[in-house]
């Protein structure tokens, strides 16, 4: 039985439309499903994402990703290298972050190497901004939530 995530979106154990092992060296070009419904695209205003390559019918499945291909807490806690931390009171976010770092440290030896190569090497968040950098947000809707971080 597929798990219902949200209206019109399902996760199932059926044949995957997208496998992280199909990510190309540039991190994008082979992400499109075998049925050609989506393709990677760099949107000018919002950045990397997926877009439909043709009109789709309401309810038509655009993309299916098996849960085992996703970064999630249970996969992180099953990683043998993290077994020593099983009793630690790690948050879900911390467990996933450690799993990601562990797999990244394995380099090409990781089963997720192609996916990791497609990820940005650095990540920026207002969480790490100085007061001077936050000052650039003055007058925008983004300053109050950024300060709360």
What confidence tens digit (pLDDT) does each residue in 106-134 have? Answer: 999 999 998 899 888 887 888 889 999 99
Distance between CA 72 and CA 142 in Å, rounded?
Answer: 28
**For the whole model, what pTM was predicted?**
0.55
HEC string of 125-146? CHHHCCHHHHHHHCCCCCHHHH
**Using one digit for the tens of pLDDT, what is the confidence trace for 136-149?**
999 999 899 888 87
Residue 31: predicted pLDDT: 41
Residue 69: predicted pLDDT: 83
Strand partners, 48: 42
Distance between CA 24 and CA 104 in Å, rounded?
Answer: 17
Distance between CA 31 and CA 56 in Å, rounded?
Answer: 18
Interacting residues of 38 by C-beta distance below 8 A, sequence separation 6+: 31, 32, 50, 51, 52, 53, 62, 63
Interacting residues of 70 by C-beta distance below 8 A, sequence separation 6+: none
Distance between CA 144 and CA 55 in Å, rounded?
Answer: 39
Parts of the chain with a pLDDT under 50: 1-35
């Amino acid at each position: 039985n597929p798990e219902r995530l949200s209206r019109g979106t399902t996760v199932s154990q059926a044949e995957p439309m997208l496998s992280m092992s199909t990510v190309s060296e540039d991190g994008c070009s082979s992400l499109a499903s075998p049925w050609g419904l989506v393709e990677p695209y760099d949107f000018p205003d919002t950045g990397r994402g997926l877009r439909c390559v043709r009109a789709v019918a309401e309810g038509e499945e655009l993309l299916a990703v098996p849960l085992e291909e996703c970064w999630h807490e249970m996969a992180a806690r099953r990683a043998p290298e993290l077994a020593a931390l099983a009793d630690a009171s790690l948050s879900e976010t911390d467990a996933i972050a450690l799993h990601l770092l562990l797999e990244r440290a394995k380099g090409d030896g990781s089963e997720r190497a192609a996916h990791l190569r497609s990820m940005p090497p650095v990540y920026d968040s207002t969480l790490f901004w100085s007061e001077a950098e936050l000052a650039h947000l003055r007058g925008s809707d983004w300053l109050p939530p950024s300060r709360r971080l």
